[in-house]
Amino acid sequence: MAKRFTDTGKWDDPWFRKLPSKFKVVWEFLRDKVDNAGFWKKDFELMAFFTQETSTPDDILRAINDGKTRIKDHGDHWELVDFVAFQFGDLSRDCKAHTHIFALKEKYASKGYPMGIHTHKDKETDKDKDKDKDIKGGAGGKPTLDMVKDYFAALGHPGEAEPFFDHYEANGWKIGGIADVHSWPALCRKWLRNPKREKNKTSTQRFKDGVERDAKDLKEWEEMKHGKKDSGHSNKLLAAGVPTLGA
Protein backbone atom coordinates (compact mmCIF):
# COMPACT_ATOMS: atom_id res chain seq x y z
CA MET A 1 0.00 0.00 0.00
CA ALA A 2 1.41 3.37 -1.03
CA LYS A 3 2.25 5.88 1.70
CA ARG A 4 2.44 9.63 1.27
CA PHE A 5 3.27 12.71 3.30
CA THR A 6 0.40 14.76 4.67
CA ASP A 7 0.41 18.42 5.64
CA THR A 8 -0.61 18.60 9.30
CA GLY A 9 -0.59 22.39 9.02
CA LYS A 10 -3.57 22.36 6.69
CA TRP A 11 -5.90 22.55 9.71
CA ASP A 12 -4.44 25.99 10.45
CA ASP A 13 -4.98 27.18 6.88
CA PRO A 14 -8.06 29.48 6.73
CA TRP A 15 -8.84 28.11 3.25
CA PHE A 16 -9.02 24.52 4.48
CA ARG A 17 -10.94 25.43 7.64
CA LYS A 18 -13.62 27.21 5.61
CA LEU A 19 -13.82 24.44 2.97
CA PRO A 20 -17.12 22.57 3.38
CA SER A 21 -16.66 19.07 4.82
CA LYS A 22 -17.82 17.40 1.62
CA PHE A 23 -15.04 19.08 -0.35
CA LYS A 24 -12.46 18.30 2.34
CA VAL A 25 -13.19 14.63 1.73
CA VAL A 26 -12.88 15.10 -2.04
CA TRP A 27 -9.55 16.90 -1.58
CA GLU A 28 -8.13 14.07 0.51
CA PHE A 29 -9.46 11.50 -1.99
CA LEU A 30 -7.63 13.29 -4.81
CA ARG A 31 -4.39 13.53 -2.84
CA ASP A 32 -4.50 9.77 -2.29
CA LYS A 33 -5.55 8.83 -5.81
CA VAL A 34 -3.27 10.93 -8.02
CA ASP A 35 -0.22 9.22 -9.51
CA ASN A 36 3.32 10.24 -8.54
CA ALA A 37 3.23 13.11 -11.02
CA GLY A 38 0.11 14.53 -9.35
CA PHE A 39 -2.38 13.49 -12.07
CA TRP A 40 -5.77 11.83 -11.54
CA LYS A 41 -7.63 10.27 -14.44
CA LYS A 42 -11.18 11.51 -14.08
CA ASP A 43 -13.55 8.91 -12.65
CA PHE A 44 -16.34 10.74 -10.85
CA GLU A 45 -18.33 7.55 -10.36
CA LEU A 46 -15.45 6.12 -8.34
CA MET A 47 -15.08 9.40 -6.47
CA ALA A 48 -18.76 9.39 -5.55
CA PHE A 49 -18.56 5.76 -4.41
CA PHE A 50 -15.72 6.46 -1.96
CA THR A 51 -16.66 9.98 -0.82
CA GLN A 52 -20.45 9.81 -1.08
CA GLU A 53 -20.19 13.22 -2.71
CA THR A 54 -22.01 13.94 -5.96
CA SER A 55 -21.17 17.61 -6.55
CA THR A 56 -20.47 18.57 -10.13
CA PRO A 57 -16.83 18.84 -11.30
CA ASP A 58 -17.30 22.61 -11.73
CA ASP A 59 -18.49 22.95 -8.12
CA ILE A 60 -15.50 20.97 -6.87
CA LEU A 61 -13.02 23.07 -8.84
CA ARG A 62 -14.68 26.30 -7.74
CA ALA A 63 -14.52 25.34 -4.06
CA ILE A 64 -11.01 23.89 -3.99
CA ASN A 65 -9.49 26.57 -6.23
CA ASP A 66 -10.89 29.40 -4.12
CA GLY A 67 -8.16 32.02 -3.83
CA LYS A 68 -5.51 29.85 -5.49
CA THR A 69 -5.22 27.32 -8.32
CA ARG A 70 -4.79 23.96 -6.59
CA ILE A 71 -6.25 21.79 -9.35
CA LYS A 72 -5.67 22.20 -13.09
CA ASP A 73 -8.16 20.66 -15.49
CA HIS A 74 -6.43 18.97 -18.44
CA GLY A 75 -9.48 17.43 -20.06
CA ASP A 76 -9.37 13.76 -19.11
CA HIS A 77 -7.07 14.39 -16.14
CA TRP A 78 -6.93 16.68 -13.14
CA GLU A 79 -3.52 17.79 -11.85
CA LEU A 80 -2.79 18.74 -8.24
CA VAL A 81 -0.46 21.68 -8.82
CA ASP A 82 1.75 21.48 -5.71
CA PHE A 83 1.69 17.70 -5.23
CA VAL A 84 5.13 16.83 -6.64
CA ALA A 85 6.92 19.68 -4.88
CA PHE A 86 5.34 18.73 -1.54
CA GLN A 87 5.91 14.98 -1.80
CA PHE A 88 9.34 14.91 -3.45
CA GLY A 89 10.89 18.37 -3.14
CA ASP A 90 13.26 19.48 -5.93
CA LEU A 91 13.44 16.87 -8.68
CA SER A 92 16.78 15.62 -9.97
CA ARG A 93 17.42 13.42 -12.97
CA ASP A 94 20.37 11.99 -11.06
CA CYS A 95 18.01 10.56 -8.43
CA LYS A 96 16.69 7.11 -9.35
CA ALA A 97 13.60 7.60 -7.19
CA HIS A 98 12.59 10.54 -9.42
CA THR A 99 13.01 8.69 -12.73
CA HIS A 100 9.39 7.47 -12.72
CA ILE A 101 8.10 11.00 -12.03
CA PHE A 102 10.01 12.44 -14.98
CA ALA A 103 8.66 9.61 -17.17
CA LEU A 104 5.08 10.40 -16.14
CA LYS A 105 5.56 14.12 -16.65
CA GLU A 106 6.98 13.54 -20.11
CA LYS A 107 4.08 11.22 -20.97
CA TYR A 108 1.57 13.91 -20.06
CA ALA A 109 3.61 16.55 -21.88
CA SER A 110 3.35 14.41 -25.04
CA LYS A 111 -0.44 14.75 -24.72
CA GLY A 112 -0.12 18.51 -24.83
CA TYR A 113 -0.44 19.20 -21.11
CA PRO A 114 1.73 22.17 -20.10
CA MET A 115 4.42 20.82 -17.80
CA GLY A 116 6.32 22.62 -15.08
CA ILE A 117 9.10 20.21 -14.16
CA HIS A 118 10.96 22.27 -11.58
CA THR A 119 14.34 20.87 -10.71
CA HIS A 120 16.84 22.15 -8.20
CA LYS A 121 18.86 23.60 -11.08
CA ASP A 122 15.80 25.50 -12.34
CA LYS A 123 15.26 27.06 -8.95
CA GLU A 124 18.88 28.04 -8.60
CA THR A 125 18.73 29.68 -12.03
CA ASP A 126 15.64 31.64 -10.98
CA LYS A 127 17.39 32.74 -7.80
CA ASP A 128 20.37 33.89 -9.85
CA LYS A 129 18.12 35.99 -12.09
CA ASP A 130 16.49 37.57 -9.04
CA LYS A 131 19.92 38.40 -7.61
CA ASP A 132 20.93 40.07 -10.89
CA LYS A 133 17.96 42.45 -10.66
CA ASP A 134 19.21 43.79 -7.33
CA ILE A 135 22.84 44.39 -8.35
CA LYS A 136 23.92 47.97 -7.80
CA GLY A 137 24.90 49.50 -11.11
CA GLY A 138 23.06 46.85 -13.12
CA ALA A 139 24.06 43.50 -14.61
CA GLY A 140 24.81 44.82 -18.07
CA GLY A 141 27.80 46.69 -19.40
CA LYS A 142 31.24 46.85 -17.84
CA PRO A 143 31.41 46.45 -14.05
CA THR A 144 33.92 48.07 -11.72
CA LEU A 145 36.34 45.98 -9.68
CA ASP A 146 34.39 46.83 -6.52
CA MET A 147 31.15 45.56 -8.11
CA VAL A 148 32.85 42.29 -9.06
CA LYS A 149 34.37 41.95 -5.58
CA ASP A 150 30.98 42.47 -3.95
CA TYR A 151 29.35 39.92 -6.23
CA PHE A 152 31.97 37.20 -5.75
CA ALA A 153 31.86 37.84 -1.99
CA ALA A 154 28.07 37.29 -2.09
CA LEU A 155 28.68 34.03 -3.96
CA GLY A 156 31.14 32.95 -1.29
CA HIS A 157 34.28 33.15 -3.47
CA PRO A 158 35.89 36.55 -2.78
CA GLY A 159 39.31 35.31 -3.95
CA GLU A 160 38.04 34.84 -7.50
CA ALA A 161 37.10 38.48 -8.04
CA GLU A 162 40.46 39.91 -9.10
CA PRO A 163 41.48 37.04 -11.44
CA PHE A 164 38.07 37.25 -13.08
CA PHE A 165 38.20 41.02 -13.40
CA ASP A 166 41.78 41.05 -14.72
CA HIS A 167 40.97 38.39 -17.30
CA TYR A 168 37.97 40.20 -18.81
CA GLU A 169 39.47 43.66 -18.39
CA ALA A 170 42.42 42.50 -20.51
CA ASN A 171 39.99 41.24 -23.14
CA GLY A 172 37.99 44.45 -23.26
CA TRP A 173 35.02 42.64 -21.72
CA LYS A 174 34.65 40.47 -24.80
CA ILE A 175 34.09 36.72 -24.98
CA GLY A 176 36.74 35.24 -27.21
CA GLY A 177 37.76 38.79 -28.00
CA ILE A 178 34.64 39.15 -30.17
CA ALA A 179 31.27 38.87 -28.44
CA ASP A 180 30.14 41.56 -26.03
CA VAL A 181 29.42 40.53 -22.45
CA HIS A 182 25.70 41.07 -21.85
CA SER A 183 25.56 39.91 -18.23
CA TRP A 184 28.72 39.98 -16.19
CA PRO A 185 27.05 38.33 -13.12
CA ALA A 186 26.14 35.34 -15.32
CA LEU A 187 29.77 35.28 -16.47
CA CYS A 188 30.92 35.24 -12.82
CA ARG A 189 28.74 32.21 -12.12
CA LYS A 190 30.01 30.48 -15.26
CA TRP A 191 33.57 31.21 -14.11
CA LEU A 192 32.88 29.38 -10.83
CA ARG A 193 31.21 26.44 -12.59
CA ASN A 194 34.20 25.83 -14.86
CA PRO A 195 35.08 22.15 -14.11
CA LYS A 196 38.74 22.80 -14.98
CA ARG A 197 39.09 25.56 -12.40
CA GLU A 198 41.45 24.51 -9.61
CA LYS A 199 41.14 26.32 -6.31
CA ASN A 200 44.77 25.69 -5.35
CA LYS A 201 46.11 27.67 -8.30
CA THR A 202 47.49 31.15 -7.79
CA SER A 203 45.66 34.16 -9.19
CA THR A 204 48.33 34.50 -11.88
CA GLN A 205 47.89 30.87 -12.92
CA ARG A 206 44.13 31.22 -13.11
CA PHE A 207 44.49 34.42 -15.14
CA LYS A 208 46.78 32.70 -17.63
CA ASP A 209 44.35 29.77 -17.90
CA GLY A 210 41.53 32.19 -18.70
CA VAL A 211 43.55 33.87 -21.44
CA GLU A 212 44.36 30.47 -22.95
CA ARG A 213 40.69 29.44 -22.88
CA ASP A 214 39.61 32.56 -24.74
CA ALA A 215 42.46 32.17 -27.24
CA LYS A 216 41.35 28.60 -27.93
CA ASP A 217 37.73 29.70 -28.40
CA LEU A 218 38.79 32.43 -30.80
CA LYS A 219 41.01 30.03 -32.77
CA GLU A 220 38.15 27.53 -33.13
CA TRP A 221 35.83 30.31 -34.23
CA GLU A 222 38.29 31.41 -36.92
CA GLU A 223 38.76 27.81 -38.14
CA MET A 224 35.01 27.29 -38.30
CA LYS A 225 34.68 30.59 -40.18
CA HIS A 226 36.92 29.16 -42.90
CA GLY A 227 35.12 25.83 -42.96
CA LYS A 228 37.72 23.87 -41.01
CA LYS A 229 35.45 22.96 -38.08
CA ASP A 230 32.20 21.00 -37.97
CA SER A 231 28.88 22.02 -36.41
CA GLY A 232 29.85 20.45 -33.11
CA HIS A 233 32.36 23.26 -32.60
CA SER A 234 29.71 25.77 -33.65
CA ASN A 235 27.36 24.51 -30.94
CA LYS A 236 30.15 24.68 -28.38
CA LEU A 237 30.96 28.28 -29.27
CA LEU A 238 27.31 29.28 -29.20
CA ALA A 239 27.06 27.85 -25.68
CA ALA A 240 30.07 29.94 -24.72
CA GLY A 241 28.43 33.08 -26.13
CA VAL A 242 30.70 33.40 -29.18
CA PRO A 243 28.74 34.25 -32.37
CA THR A 244 28.94 31.85 -35.28
CA LEU A 245 28.45 32.62 -38.93
CA GLY A 246 24.75 31.86 -38.74
CA ALA A 247 24.20 33.83 -35.54
Is 93 found in the same domain as 23? yes
Q: Under DSSP, is residue 180 helix (H, G, I), strand (E, B) or coil? A: strand
Number of domains in the chain: 2
CA 247, CA 229: separation in Å to the nearest integer?
Answer: 16
**39 three-state secondary structure:** strand
Same domain assignment for residues 187 and 82: no
Per-residue pLDDT of the chain (247 residues; tens, 9 = 90+): 578 889 899 999 999 999 999 999 999 999 999 999 999 999 999 999 999 988 999 999 999 999 999 999 999 999 999 998 888 888 787 788 888 888 887 888 877 776 554 444 444 454 555 555 555 555 567 889 998 998 888 888 888 899 989 988 888 888 766 777 778 888 888 888 876 655 545 566 666 666 776 777 677 767 766 665 554 555 554 555 545 444 4
Q: Which helix (H) or strand (E) holds 73?
A: strand 71-73
Name 180's Cβ contacts closer than 8 Å, sequence gap at least 6: 173, 174
Work out the burial of residue 52: count CB atoms within 10 Å of its CB; fewer than 13 is exposed, 13-18 middle, 19 or more buried: exposed
Q: Is 188 helix (H, G, I), strand (E, B) or coil?
A: helix
Q: Is residue 218 assigned to a domain?
A: yes
Task: Please give the pLDDT value at position 246.
Answer: 47
Do 33 and 106 have their domain in common? yes
Q: How confident is the model at residue 237, as a pLDDT?
A: 47
Q: Provide the residue range defining the domain that includes 166.
A: 121-240
Same domain (yes/no): 152, 226:
yes
Distance of CA 129 to the CA centre of its chain: 11
Reduced to 3 states, what is the DSSP secondary structure of residue 156?
coil
Classify residue 63: in a domain, yes or no.
yes
Helix axes 21-33 and 57-64, enclosed angle (nearest 10): 90
38 within 8 A of 116, measured Cβ to Cβ:
no
131 and 106 within one domain: no
Strand duo 77-80 + 71-73: pairing: antiparallel
Report the predicted TM-score, pTM, of the whole model to 2 decimal places.
Answer: 0.48
**In a domain? residue 2:** no
Residue 1 falls within a domain, yes or no? no
Q: Which of 88, 78, 85 minimizes the C-alpha distance to 29?
A: 78
Cβ 114 vs Cβ 147: under 8 Å: no
pLDDT at 114: 63
